[in-house]
Structure 1
Amino acid sequence: MSRKNIIKTVREHCEPIIEELGYDLVDLEYVKENGRNFLRFYIGKPEGISIDDCQKVSEVISDKLDEIDPIESSYYLEVSSPGLDRPLKTDKDLKRNIGRNVEISLYKNIDGRKKFYGILLGYTETHITIEEENGIERNIEREAISNIKLTVEF
């Protein structure tokens, strides 16, 4: 089975379980690093993720993965928080973060800039809307965006 199909199969079987436990499946990857295969689940919840949360999810999905056995070779299962500066990839990510500060990186300059900062106001299938520091609302085409992530403030 291809890596893409493995991810699709694992997501179909494990995402509902993760959601039943009260978490969001933020991202899922199956990668080879230093000759080893890793199946990585990145989970989230509004109040943040603890080590106990990761262990709980790991135990439950490990049983499910044993049951469906989607990966023929050996692999390491990892469950973790995606981190504060992770990219917002899905509409679910965007919805969860409306009202928060984001940084948007573009493939090419718009108005002489490749980065925009502001409060995420909303999104559509084709655009992301932010309010910049100067109060101006800016609609940016999703096709022009290379990366969007939360800004980390200390």
Structure 2
Amino acid sequence: MQDTIANSSASPSEQNSDTGRFLRETGLAADVAAVVEPVLEDLGFRLVRVKIQGDGRDRTVQLMAERPDGSINVDDCEAISKALSPVLDVNDPVSGAYRLEVSSPGIDRPLVRPSDFEDWSGHEAKIELNEAIDGRKRFKGVLEGFEDGEVRIKTDTGEHGVQHLGLPVHLISDAKLVLTDELIREALQRAKERHSNRPGDGAELDEDDLED
């Protein structure tokens, strides 16, 4: 089951929002997202993605979250899990037993908001559309930001060489950063900067701060 698709029914203002997700879950994952998203916001986090894997006793609810600055650590994940478990029990969007897993988006993260394409401009990404453009649904290239409802990307089209394209955000069914040495260095640098900006914190950077 594919849990995440483009929310083509969203209004242009919603699709162009810097903070709103243009990728939305469907089915059971959407039911879970509707329950957890407001709780996360109250805790100071934002939802990245919900996925449901397995069925029956092997069912797992996977939830990716982050702070608005893109950070999250192990303690945050534990706090989110403790806050969400009773809420999910009461609302019961998932029948039967399941495991709840809360994690960071990871370095090669999904891109689910227009602001993600701005934040990670200059890095490689893979983008898949739910409708073909010039016979293609899959694109890989360097992000060049977001403008006028389109993701800007520099990509090698093969026959027509390198081109700068605009992909309508409402056609995107999946988007993800490509793990490269440059991306790892950038993610580490951002984690160090966040760490150094914490007031009154003189401790050295630890693994939790690099989790995103």
Match of 2:49 in 1: 27
Shift of 1:35: 5.8
Q: Which moved more, 1:99-108 or 1:51-60?
A: 99-108
Q: Does structure 2 conserve the Cα–Cα contact (< 8 Å) formed by 1:18 and 1:57?
A: yes
Confirm or deny that 1:40 pairs with 2:67: no
Higher relative contact order, structure no. (Cα contacts within 8 Å, ≥ 6 residues apart): 2
Q: Which moved more, 1:98-107 or 1:143-152?
A: 143-152
Match of 1:7 in 2: 29
Match of 2:175 in 1: 148
Q: How does 1:1-150 map to 2 (within 5 A)?
A: 4-32=26-54, 36-45=58-67, 46-88=69-111, 90=112, 92=113, 94-100=114-120, 101-105=123-127, 115-125=139-149, 127-130=150-153, 137-141=164-168, 147-150=174-177
Higher strand proportion (structure 1 or 2): 1
1:40 corresponds to which letter in structure 2? Q
3-state SS in 2 of match to 1:30? strand
1:31-54 residue CA offsets vs partner (Å, 9 max, x unmatched): 206960011111122242211010
Higher helix proportion (structure 1 or 2): 2
**Cα distance between partner residues in 2 of 1:9 and 1:140:** 28
2:40 corresponds to which letter in structure 1? I
Q: Which moved more, 1:5-14 or 1:75-84?
A: 5-14
Q: Does structure 2 conserve the Cα–Cα contact (< 8 Å) formed by 1:102 and 1:120?
A: no
1:99-142 residue CA offsets vs partner (Å, 9 max, x unmatched): 422323567897xxx654223321444x321357xxx7432355
User: Taking structure 1 as reference, are residues 138 and 5 closer, same or farther at Cα in structure 2, changes over 3 Å only?
Assistant: closer
Unaligned 5+ runs, structure 1: none
**Cα distance between partner residues in 2 of 1:123 and 1:5:** 30
Unaligned 5+ runs, structure 2: 4-25, 156-162, 182-212
| TM-score normalized by the length of structure 2 | 0.55
**Cα distance between partner residues in 2 of 1:7 and 1:34:** 15
| TM-score normalized by the length of structure 1 | 0.72
Between the aligned residues of both structures, percent identity stands at 25
**Cα distance between partner residues in 1 of 2:180 and 2:60:** 31
User: Taking structure 1 as reference, are residues 38 and 131 closer, same or farther at Cα in structure 2, changes over 3 Å only?
Assistant: same
1:98 corresponds to which letter in structure 2? E
